Amino acid sequence: MTSRQPEFGVYIHVPFCSRRCDYCAFATWDDKAGQINGYMTALSAEVQRATETGMSLAGTVFVGGGTPSLVPGELLATVIAAVRTTPDAEVTVECNPDNVTESLLRTYREAGVNRISLGVQSMVPHVLAALGREHDPDNVVAAVEAINNVGIPTFNLDLIYGAHGESLDDWRSTLRSALALEPPHVSAYALTVEAGTPLADDDARHPDDDDQADKYPIADAALEKAGLGNYEISNWARPGHESRHNRLYWAQADYRGFGCAAHSHTAGRRWWNVRTPERYIDLVNRGESTEAAFEQLTADQVAAERVQLAIRRREGAALADIAPERRVEIDEMVNDGWLVLEDDRVTLTPRGRMLANAITLRLT
């Protein structure tokens, strides 16, 4: 499949949760529901101001969090409607299976939403408990049924492997249950330990590298057999259902983030908003910039990131983007079965995907 040309994207951050997962290090809170109305009003105002000052038409919009589906659908629809989009824009909302109803999805669909990303993580109750998740696996089935009934064209199931106490059979069970729902897209991520989280504070629950190395090929084989092709290390999709928003990030395209802690990028300049909802609301209400800090990437940094992002994808990295002195490294890794060099592009083998970080260091 040929990659689409880079397009402009919009990310909208909704920081509210009913319960914060034990592994989560994002800017999310489970004790600030009283700020939802003020926050959503501020989001609409910030988007409108950006539109009035010439923000490009968005080819992709992604509403993430947090738990966007906790927010009243009409409020979120108002924010989405404020974003000017291309006629064929991909508009995605992340949802917790417990919050999904046909009524909510109809509101989303009327606002232009055409993709749902469900935070499933596992279909095994004791594994969900180990992750600090609270949803009922049966609600995943109900949520997918609602998506299909409402007619939203595509959806993603988000999975995590490597939780404490998750056996290989537990992981196979999750994959079987997920695939029984015939998802057009599945993301499967290895559990990572982020500083400052309850998981980080509990050594006994830290994931085991060997265990995760065993689980990745199980996922890859099951998903490929079901017709979902791997197009990025942690993402599998049926043809035409790949995430355009993720591809935008991987292509180093420009995007604008709205909401607290949201990140933006334009031509090598990255910046991020203030972290807390209170500060964000206050700055928007005063008509001031919500930017907290920024970094300007050097040409060398941009070039290195181009390789780091490209090597993770099915299309791989262009040989011309890799420094000539790394060619010996490439030849060695081809011989070791980590890489494939073909048509002047370097791609990871299935084995190489599990060693992507180490390989990237050797290439950059």
Domain with 351, as residue range(s), is 302-363
H or E stretch including 331? helix 327-335
Same domain as 138, residue 64: yes
Q: What does the block give as tokens for 171?
A: 């992981």
Residue 293 pLDDT greater than 80, yes or no: yes
Domain annotation covers residue 179: yes
Domain annotation covers residue 294: no
What's the Cα-to-Cα distance from 145 to each of 10, 152, 199, 297, rounded to whole Å?
28, 11, 32, 44
- Measured CA to CA, the distance from residue 56 to residue 33 in angstroms comes to 32
Domain annotation covers residue 4: no
Same domain as 62, residue 167: yes
Helices assigned H by DSSP within 30-157: 36-52, 73-81, 102-110, 125-131, 137-150
- Measured CA to CA, the distance from residue 176 to residue 270 in angstroms comes to 40
pLDDT of residue 42: 98
Domain annotation covers residue 196: yes
Q: How confident is the model over 102-139, as pLDDT tens digits?
A: 999 999 999 999 999 999 999 999 999 999 987 789 99
Closest Cα to residue 12, out of 106, 103, 88, 75? 75
Please tell me the pTM assigned to this model: 0.95
Domain annotation covers residue 123: yes
Q: How confident is the model over 181-239, as pLDDT tens digits?
A: 999 999 999 999 999 999 999 999 999 999 999 999 999 999 999 999 999 999 999 99
Same domain as 307, residue 231: no
H or E stretch including 173? helix 168-179
CATH number, position 350: 1.10.10.10
Same domain as 237, residue 122: yes
The crossing angle, in degrees rounded to 10, of helices 73-81 and 102-110 is 20
CATH number, position 169: 3.20.20.70
Q: How many domains, in total, are found in the chain? A: 2
pLDDT of residue 206: 93
